[in-house]
Structure 1
């Protein structure tokens, strides 16, 4: 009697349900890998590229500040108008870490904020610049990815200083209130007199906004502050006491 060679033995036939489960498992594994790659891109890679762009822009701005001004304006003259994408200065928040610094540009569109900066709102309310007599200097930045400049915004508390640095002045604000969560379309939080803030009339305010909770864009949070003083910069750019 001939003996069947092992190689000629047929593999047991798999049940269709087993085949379906195996295919589903392969699909879920593939989707998991793709999702992990997407997370890596959205967080790590966008942070890396945003940091590079922000560092280059910050270096260019500081270099332009070190160049002599073309003409000496009156001491009470406001800086020239800033257009979309223009760099205004820097935001410092010592409560968020020693050396914390964020470049500020005009605009909150995706392209501007993707460069790892804080953007000054131009709509639905146009942010008042710090040197203006009254208004709200309202800023937005990403909480996760694209530099995540406002990742720890929830750590700010009333009394914490916020300092805006421009070419000619330091503007020192103190945090007055925070709004942990509100709707994404709550435009009142960036109004000239922010709705829900402790302010009941015109003043010189700053508002910081970002998404919340972390790793989502379900809601918006806000931090409100008011100007307590301004100081002219000196040739050494000696920072105010809050940053020393």
Structure 2
């Protein structure tokens, strides 16, 4: 891996790479789509894939094109490539969905902005759902936020990989501000006590969940 390829994922052919975009809350504009299409055509990128984290994955990028592709993507090309918050996904929420009880898109954007570029011991995935149907996959994310008619519920330590784990419920009936304050406290504790490359689910398996009761909003 070189400076030019850092953060790009080498593909099965051993020659080409995949680049992920930064899409806070999974919301794109027509201009964003036009930019992605223009770049994909210009650099003959054979596959553009939507990921489970509501990002675009440009697959089949030639090594010599990686720097130019990122530059022409602009802000879309500023995806997290260090241990930290990889993405904050969201359902449409109360602004658009008939089932929504809370404004998931607005909250997801606020959280995404707060943690952009901040480093943690391992990657962190965050899911925000506007109702208990959990279309934002809140129960299986490192930080999960689920809306109800009485406010927000927070989960910590979820994981959807090979060894899946449902997150621990931390608190319920919270306002959006209380959610952000509590997330800050949870992540501060995790950052201080987790080992390098230790995801939140493995962290809980190692240290237990008793500490969660003592966490005070930051």
Give the TM-score, by structure 1 length.
0.27
Pick the structure with more helix per residue. Answer: 2
Bigger fraction of residues in strand: 1
* Higher alpha-carbon Rg: 1
Higher relative contact order (CA 8 A, sep 6+): 1
Q: What TM-score, normalized to structure 2?
A: 0.29
